[in-house]
Chains A and B, each alone.
Chain A
Amino acid sequence: GAVVSQHPSRVICKSGTSVKIECRSLDFQATTMFWYRQFPKQSLMLMATSNEGSKATYEQGVEKDKFLINHASLTLSTLTVTSAHPEDSSFYICSAAQGIGANVLTFGAGSRLTVL
């Protein structure tokens, strides 16, 4: 079946540094990928929609300069948390669409970011 890989699964960084998280579709091409953020004991909140070859679409309230998204190929999207602060600590999950409609979404295993 379809597999989405996220890397790294866990990352710890110092405040003020930038961290890049990768989301790869391993056996299919994904023109659209999604980035979610999950706070402890909370739901997943959609941050942005990543479109291959074009700018990402951010949800209301998400700082596009803070969370840089690049979707340079049909199998890779990256989320860069710039100038990270402790409040950016969270679980970030990506999903990739094999086609049109959420029925073909595959989720990655998530990346736990801890900012000291």
Chain B
Amino acid sequence: AQSVTQPDIHITVSEGASLELRCNYSYGATPYLFWYVQSPGQGLQLLLKYFSGDTLVQGIKGFEAEFKRSQSSFNLRKPSVHWSDAAEYFCAVEAQGGSEKLVFGKGTKLTVNP
């Protein structure tokens, strides 16, 4: 079965510092991968997605992610974090191609220090 692992439960960075959130997946075929952000008490907002093609994907709010098949990873990065980026971040894989069913990781909570 498909699974997503986010090894870091909580990460704290200083404002202006770079950020990398890790995500590893387990999937037999070419995965459809996603990163979502959830602010407190809010739903999920799609940051970016990877389906095929260029393995470096650009998203909203200055985020990017790189798909590395050899490492089964899809890490999220941002060169300079803003205080407003503090939130919970979820990596997800589509359970079956075209099914719209998502399997989520447990999330990484990001705290940004001034």
Contact = CB atoms under 8 A, between A and B. Distances in A.
Interface of A: 4, 6, 9, 32, 34, 41-46, 49, 93, 95, 97, 100-105, 107-110, 112
Contact of A102 (B9, B94, B106): B94
A68 B98 CA distance: 25
B34 interface: yes
Given A44-B90, A102-B32, A102-B34, A107 B101 contact: no
A97 B42 CA distance: 18
B44 interface: yes
B45 to A, nearest CB: 7
Contact of B100 (A43, A97, A112): A97
Contact of A112 (B41, B45, B107): B41
Contact of A107 (B41, B45, B49, B51): B45
Interface of B: 9, 32, 34, 36, 41-46, 49, 51, 90, 92, 94, 98-107
Nearest to A10: B41
A105 B100 contact: yes
Contacts of B90: 43-44
B41 A109 contact: yes
Contacts of A109: 41-43
A32 B102 CA distance: 13
Nearest to B4: A43
